[in-house]
Structure 1
């Protein structure tokens, strides 16, 4: 099989109708050869329109209506196309929450993201992990109106003795009968097999909805079991819709990001991956079996098309018919962005809206605006997350305050109510993959639902766990993996570990502590112990005294963390003391209603341990300058420097 580099992509020719962009496969296809283009979206998270409901303004960086224009453009260029969605389609912004929590869904209703996707006429889709956030009844109502089949091979009502004996929630795969036009204009049938997968970790992340009623199987194991049957049923090519990411660190059973090893399953021809909100081909992945230039995983064409509609995935296949079946002769992979960011941090749109998709959500868009603009209270201080990864932060503080307020009332007059109460919360919007504008920034004054949604992005429910003092320390040691190891005396070392997500950087309120980054991290980015003797968390105190490792504490947190999300010590599902019926976001709204005016100034309960002669570099959004003096007043020795990349601003911190 030969491979076309994605750098060779387009040929230009002049036709009677004007300038036409012709792919080399189409230009060279002869009789018995056909060019098939596979288009895909992934991790839309209900971003139908180019609108940021948290900031309440139009943007050019998100939106299926923009991606749809790319899709329609490619369809117009090509004789043969198919379009797929790779999951995480219905949750992830205030419109999604408005539908789930305020407007509601009843039988016969069409969810706005399904309405938009139906306009585009997808061929097939699969489930993502966030599809389960609102519960199984809601999921069923949403999917009932999809105008395309949904498949998933590793999510079941009950597991059998082998994958093919599982009582699956959806069909594991589908064989789509399509017709291809070859290079000579002949029409020939083809059978395209499509199989889907979801991360097994949904059983931890949405335990409350799934435990005791459903189960999952290892992705690669499920693929290896079902693909031979797809071939037996006549599939010419097999496309894997894999809502799982790419990890070259070695295969293990039940792994979350298994796309690379799934690509190694015999009989799979194409892998559409996602979940990580990253880009492939590109610069985000490297390692054995990963070829960014050719756009392949284990030699198979593959894509990961970002998130929120910011990219469209495109795989081009040159197919040859041997008289009996189609085979892939040549292939190429690429992702097409909807915008570009200039060196001056400016955003330039690379496409416009596809009007039918945009207009499919006009009414619900207006209703969502009313929903997010509703006032719930006041704040006496600004809420921002620009420095949330380097200092105690007001956007995290208000979440902790609300969780403490809620759980304290719940545990009144119970034995556990006499235990010390702590609260764990993490910054969700802290730049990173979201870019230099991806921060919370709420001014002093009125607070609306959109501001609360901005503080807490996910529809998690509040839970409380009972842990020991030793587990409190290790919980914080796990969080401290956010920072690179910086030996004492280092000059301008990079502070943050880019592979460590900000939502795993828990700050625990109710204790005081320092983080010594001159020590190696005890845990790696996945929560595995790598340096058992290290101690990054120093001077850990409760009520002014060193914490007792054997003492018991209650920590207010969310269902994701309490159920094992992030692999935190003391949070594996077995320590859950209370499962609240309310979302963390609702708890924050109730807290603000109760207080009328909140005062969320950070209490500086954590800081970096001093390290004489040591400086580190930290990147954040350019608007951070507004709050520089505020964060310096809390003891952080920080100053702006030049050199930020990708629109970020760079700062130097002296330890």
Structure 2
């Protein structure tokens, strides 16, 4: 099918410029304004990766957040419908898990047959036409998923999720859901004539759910390759009379080459004959747009096309609404697409000072619909969900092995080992890289994690992990592990042997780049200069600060392969660590690091965050160094493992000084 792209791109601001508060004036989309007697404009709106973020509220930080929330995205819907000749609304999956409200509904309240989940309350109120499954729908088990989705007043489709084993051919698969649905809609053409159109929706979920949720799916379900399933079912949709076919693909965009059971297969799905447009998701990115997919072969990030067909990825957590506008033309008794535009419309922007400015308001009926669950979730996050047998604090995270970093490392290793246990990397040792985020500095003397031993609440996890990073893992050699640590050691100034109270910390080196790697043991020799500069460039080729690096008690083999659990920032090259970049990634996990920590706490019941002192500074005779930390850290100096720390008096601007005896 060929498409004509001859309509100027419409920006969010130009579309909204004709909509004034309380005004009936609406700027129509060009397709709606110019459609001829045999033409009609159909706008299809997408939400994706909501992850239970109905309210514009960060439950981890326990405060409002203008960058998220279906209640905000929903406020666009009437505007967007008013701009269009005809419209439909779809969701692309990952609805049921991802924030504390999801955990509250699963772990606390539960979903019995007949119960109505807050996500379903909101979506039913908004009048969705169709939806598909995301990988996170399975996190709480099949019974929870079905009890929740049974509350939907719209069809859910998925063509590649089967009951039990795969059949000999896809069309003989016994599916949990209908593979597709064909909805007959009355649309008005340019002359005002109303006539029917049959719009087909087909859905897909990443095949990797069989690994990610093996404990919930093994022996109960199976998945088929996305493109294979599409090639089987799309012709059937056409035979059944679908005028146009829309793919709801909870799968991202990856141009590295088509492979069997590919996770991010939307680019190759676009090549299936008969598909007219694709809604994508899963990757938590934005398409079209200038940032995330620029230069990807086969994807036009400006026009919003995959292999020439219109496509959208609408961010995550309600951050955007995806729009595909189709100009349809009646050809005899059927409709065909003759032109299109695409857009990912954000609910906020940043001003010249990079401050977040909301472009959407709460939709009152959605806020009212989920008010009971929102209030219950606030009580849930503020109450203990587990215990810690020792305090969690970060006052000395930059100078000694630290409990706040240790617990992140423990959770990451636990999670990644579980995901890799049945795959090709199951026999590789798993290490973990984690950095302290709350470590004073420019943020002041109170900017430290400090959770006492005893009860721990979900919102305390925000103290352990500030950022909504996602878990990734890289495959590296022993030599690359050593250079990773050499880069981290740039956190420290060079300390001459015999120095007295020399300044310890390099204030130009951000604490979030000070990775501690668990699973190996090592020392840092501060008498030597940093091997790499802050940009990861080799500054002192003959210097090696990392000494006595061992794995399982033996000197590390430079050629041995290790899996290192980390986050998407580091794995993607963030911090400019030598040789650590996207080409080393072997696992892109579906969960945030914060959510993994929460799950780990729930699973363990009582966590033991005590640092294992797997790293320390190499002793330097008659040498001391000085650093600043929060004055509340004084109560923990005696508990620090692997380092001797002394109170050195008052520092500037409310900080306390501490002495490190080397």
With normalisation by structure 1, the TM-score equals 0.69
Counterparts of 1:249 and 1:217, CA distance in 2: 20
Matched, 1:332 2:341: yes
Aligned equivalent of 2:418: none
Aligned to 1:318: 327
Q: Residue 65 of structure 1 aligns with which residue?
A: 71
* Displacement after TM superposition at 1:377 (Å): 5.5
- 2:312 aligned partner: 303
Does residue 366 (structure 1) correspond to residue 368 (structure 2)? The answer is no
2: CA distance, partners of 1:568 / 1:380: 35
TM superposition shift of 1:238: 0.6
Task: Give the equivalent residue in structure 1 for 2:361.
Answer: 352
SS at match of 2:27: strand
Query: Deviation of residue 77 (structure 1)?
Result: 2.7
Paired with 1:190 and 1:449, the residues of 2 have a C-alpha distance of 52
Change (3 A) 1:103 1:36: same
Q: Deviations over 1:222-266 (max 9, x none)?
A: 111111111111111111000010011111111111111111111
Q: Match of 2:148, SS?
A: helix
Superposed counterparts of 1:69-468, under 5 Å: 69-157=75-163, 158-282=165-289, 283-285=291-293, 286-375=295-384, 380-382=391-393, 394-400=403-409, 425=432, 442-445=449-452, 448-451=456-459, 453-454=461-462, 455=464
After TM superposition, give the deviation of residue 568 of structure 1 in Å.
10
Structure 2: give runs of 5+ residues left out of the alignment.
416-428, 468-473, 489-507, 525-529, 533-545, 567-581, 588-597, 618-627, 635-639, 644-662
Q: 1:452, 1:585 within 8 Å by CA — same for their partners in 2? A: no
Partner of 2:62: 56
Higher gyration radius (CA): 2
Q: 1:273 to 1:186 in 2, by over 3 A?
A: same
Structure 2 CA distance, aligned partners of 1:585 and 1:119? 35
Distance 2:483 2:109 in 1: 40
1:6 corresponding residue in structure 2 = 9
**Deviation, structure 1 residue 452:** 5.1
Q: CA deviation at 1:6?
A: 2.5
Question: 1:39, 1:314 within 8 Å by CA — same for their partners in 2?
Answer: yes
CA RMSD for the aligned pairs?
A: 4.9
- Distance verdict in 2 for CA 1:265–1:101, change over 3 Å: same
Aligned pair in 2 of structure 1 residues 84, 403: CA closer, same or farther (>3 Å)? closer
Q: Cα–Cα, structure 1 residues 274 and 550, in superposed 2: closer, same or farther, change >3 Å? A: closer
The whole-number CA distance in structure 2 between the counterparts of 1:171 and 1:482 is: 51
Cα distance change, pair 569–149 in 1 and its aligned pair in 2 (3 A) = closer
Whole-Å Cα distance in 1 between the matches of residues 307 and 60 of structure 2? Answer: 40
State whether residues 51 and 99 of structure 2, in contact with CA within 8 Å, keep that contact through their aligned partners in structure 1.
Answer: yes
Sort the Cα spacing of 1:569 and 1:334 in 2 relative to 1 into closer, same or farther, 3 A: closer
User: Aligned equivalents of 2:258 and 2:232: distance in 1?
Assistant: 17
Looking at structure 1, the residues matched to 245 and 127 of structure 2 have their Cα atoms a distance apart, in angstroms, of 20
Q: Is the 8 A contact 1:403 1:588 kept in 2?
A: no
Preserved contact between residue 133 and residue 204 of structure 2 (Cα < 8 Å): yes
Aligned residue for 1:367, secondary structure, equals helix
1:509 shift after superposition = 3.8
Tell me the TM-score normalised to structure 2 length. Answer: 0.69
Shift of residue 359, structure 1, vs aligned partner: 1.3
Residue of structure 2 in register with 1:590 after alignment? 606
CA distance, structure 1, for counterparts of residue 586 and residue 194 of structure 2: 61
Give the drift of 1:480: 8.7
Aligned residues of 2:252 and 2:283 also touching (Cα < 8 A): yes
Query: Is the Cα contact below 8 Å between 1:91 and 1:131 reproduced in 2?
Result: yes
